[in-house]
Structure 1
Amino acid sequence: MCDLSCFSVLITGANRGLGLEFVRQLLQLSKPPQMLFATCRNPSKAQELQKLKAQHSNVQILSLDVESIISIQEASVFVKDQLKGLGLNLLINNAGNAIANTIYSESEESMHLLYQIHVVGNLKMSQIFLPLLKEAAQRGPQDSLSCNRAAIINISSSAGSITEVLGWEYGHCLSYRCSKAALNMLTRCQALALKEEGILCTALHPGWVQTDMGNSSAFVTTLKKEESVQGMLRVLSTLSEEHSGGFYSWEGKALSW
């Protein structure tokens, strides 16, 4: 049972995989978001997303490239205008990429690209959308942190856990691992800085899911995106102040950094 009940949600990378599944399942909640902003780089090519928008008036699709500050700023202006002072309750930083280079073949270009997406992009998302998150936090209950009040959720990975190094035997994926480890630190810093603003910040590991990106390695997974997102939404509905700055699996298990 998922008790998540957010007025407004924004998801990056919503054109496929986990992002698209987040949109689908949020719409199926007993209390779906009244404003659901599904973002991706090329909305015109996001056919499945466009079908959902045609069926649900609360879905807004907009162009957003996390590699571009200008794109993020333009999206924030649109979202602010739509929210009309009510604020953004939940920001899910889902957009990501993986490059299957080894420690011997890893390139400067790949390292820069994945740090730009997973670290710099998520940092800029939180900075630029912060005024809208603060508006939501100020309107919500003042004695607790929750995703229903205001939250930043960073989709990370146990592949970036220095303790676990998930799936090393199936692929080094160095730029992916290093950038996700840096994202975990960003999450900790965000939680420390934004606690007094009433904003919860948590990192989630979705599992190794059957998606285009998840199937790009030799690692064989049986976890379906539907199951992963269902679990993550259940976790989001239970997060509180004690979880802010933490790292959790799609099943709610606390993970090692």
Structure 2
Amino acid sequence: MGELCVHSVLVTGANRGLGLGFVQHFLRMPKPPQWIFATCRDPKGQRAQELKDLASKHPNLVIIALELANPASIKAAAAKVGEHLGGSGLNLLINNAGLVKPKTLDSETLEDMTETYTTNTAGPLLMGQAFLPLLKKAAQGSPGSGLSCSKAAIINISSIGGSIASSFGWDMMQVTSYRCSKAALNMLSKCQSLAYREHGVLCVALHPGWVQTDLGGATGYAPPVTVDDSVQGMLKVLSSLSEKETGTFLDWEGNVIPW
């Protein structure tokens, strides 16, 4: 199993947490991608400062404004990425941006459920639709048959909280809207894998572990996994994926998680 080797990658929610971790790891690779597209809601804001500092030192890092709740914003981002790539396609789309509302089942509201689903489930759906032409182009331009992340792939960052078979963390955090949205994201990943396979695009749902991020710590408990370890593990998993894994639900160490 070699190191992941991609010409271009896009990461959503890249201004902090796992998204920023992905960007940092891609930049540190012996053969970094020629294009790293990092999206966030407000590229000019204070919360994107670390990302801006990296972009000032790395010409292959392009920051793009993206609001997942806004279909027009997603289409505009896809058009911008297409302009940068010229005739080549996008190898890897990492749908990482996520939202959690730390509520109990009794205190969930329609507004919370709708907002969480919009970001965690509808966002990755619309991203897949908007970027499919670029992913198809990458798949067509890659040598050899079969599926891989070096060719063309959609990676949906999910959560064990979306596993219906597991009640992991229920005593600590009910976060019902988050769990429901991630269970739906898992089904979306399966649907994408079935629909996009013929285009040469691999699709998986990936649980990053319980990670030390703002989202991971939203419950008031200290998560055990560092961003660095999680991202390193996930990139190792991505480098080994083939068509037999498309449509599966895996964790950051490559273990299969029950639906």
TM-score (norm 1): 0.98
Aligned to 1:147: 149
SS of the aligned residue for 1:216 comes to coil
Cα drift, residue 183 of structure 1: 0.1
In structure 2, give the amino acid aligned to 1:85: G
How many equivalent pairs are there?
257
**Equivalent-residue separation in structure 1 for 2:208 and 2:35 (angstroms):** 24
Query: 173-182 or 208-217, which moves further after superposition?
Result: 208-217
1:101 alignment partner, one of 100, 103, 110: 103
In structure 1, give the amino acid aligned to 2:7: F
Question: Where has structure 1 moved over 3 Å in runs of 4 or more?
Answer: none
Aligned to 1:186: 188
**Equivalent-residue separation in structure 1 for 2:161 and 2:74 (angstroms):** 27
* 1:12–1:19 CA contact under 8 A, matched in 2: yes
Cα drift, residue 2 of structure 1: 5.7
Cα drift, residue 142 of structure 1: 4.0
Cα drift, residue 81 of structure 1: 0.6
**Equivalent-residue separation in structure 1 for 2:55 and 2:162 (angstroms):** 34
What do the CA deviations read for 1:76-118 (whole angstroms, capped 9, x no partner)? 1111111012000000000001001111110000100111111
Aligned to 2:160: 158
**Structure 1: tracts of 5 or more residues without a match:** none
What do the CA deviations read for 1:213-253 (whole angstroms, capped 9, x no partner)? 11111433221001000000111100100010001100111
1:54 alignment partner, one of 53, 56, 63: 56
Cα drift, residue 171 of structure 1: 1.2
**Equivalent-residue separation in structure 1 for 2:233 and 2:157 (angstroms):** 13
Cα drift, residue 190 of structure 1: 0.4
**Equivalent-residue separation in structure 2 for 1:213 and 1:191 (angstroms):** 27
* 1:142–1:198 CA contact under 8 A, matched in 2: no
**Equivalent-residue separation in structure 1 for 2:19 and 2:91 (angstroms):** 17
**Equivalent-residue separation in structure 2 for 1:245 and 1:67 (angstroms):** 25
**Equivalent-residue separation in structure 2 for 1:252 and 1:13 (angstroms):** 23
Identity of aligned residues (%): 53
SS of the aligned residue for 1:133 comes to helix
**Equivalent-residue separation in structure 2 for 1:218 and 1:79 (angstroms):** 37
- CA RMSD for the aligned pairs? 1.0
In structure 2, give the amino acid aligned to 1:30: P
**Equivalent-residue separation in structure 1 for 2:167 and 2:70 (angstroms):** 30
